[in-house]
Structure 1
Amino acid sequence: MSLPVDVRPTGGRVRTAWKAAHAPVAGVPRWARICAYAIPFTVLPSGLWRLGLLFVDHSSADSGQLPDWLPLEVYVVILSVVSELLAFTAVGLVASWGEVFPRRLPVLGGRRIPVTVAVVPAALGAVALTGLWTVLALVAEVTGTTIQGDPVPADFPSEVGGWSALWFYVCYAPLILWGPLLGVVTVAYWRRRRRMP
Structure 2
Amino acid sequence: MSMSTRTGLSSAPRGLRAVWTAAHTPVAGVPRWATNLAYTVPFLVLPSGLWRIVTVLFGDGRNQDAGQLPSWLPVEAYVVLLSVASELLAFTAVGLIAAWGEVFPRWIPGLGGRRVPTSAAVIPAAFGTLALTAVWTTIGLATEIAGTTIQGDPLPAGYPGLGHGWSLVFFYATYAPLVLWGPALGVLTVAYWKRRRRNGP
TM-score (norm 1): 0.89
Aligned twin of 2:4: none
Shift of the alpha carbon at 1:27? 0.3
Shift of the alpha carbon at 1:9? 1.7
Note the 1:137-148 alignment, pairs <5 A.
137-148=140-151
Aligned twin of 1:74: 77
| Structure-2 change in CA distance of 1:116 and 1:77 (3 Å) | same
| Structure-2 change in CA distance of 1:49 and 1:6 (3 Å) | closer
Is contact 1:136-1:146 (8 Å) kept? no
**Structure 1, 173-182 or 141-150: larger mean CA deviation:** 141-150
**Structure 1, 143-152 or 46-55: larger mean CA deviation:** 143-152
Aligned twin of 2:117: 114
| Structure-2 change in CA distance of 1:111 and 1:85 (3 Å) | same
Gaps of 5+ in 1: none
| AA matched with 2:37 | C
In the alignment, the residues of structure 1 paired with residue 115 and residue 171 of structure 2 have an alpha-carbon distance, to the nearest angstrom, of 42
Number of residues paired by the alignment?
193
**Matching residue within 6, 10, 32 for 1:30:** 32
3-state DSSP class of the match of 1:103?
A: coil
Aligned alpha-carbon RMSD (Å): 2.2
Gaps of 5+ in 2: 1-6
Question: 1:92-149, CA deviations, whole angstroms, 9 ceiling, x for partnerless residues?
Answer: 0001111101123332111110000000000100111011112333322222211233
Higher helix share: 2
Note the 1:34-183 alignment, pairs <5 A.
34-53=36-55, 54-58=57-61, 61-153=64-156, 156-157=159-160, 161-183=164-186
Shift of the alpha carbon at 1:64? 1.4
| AA matched with 1:34 | N
Q: Which structure is richer in relative contact order (CA contacts within 8 A, separation 6 or more)?
A: 1
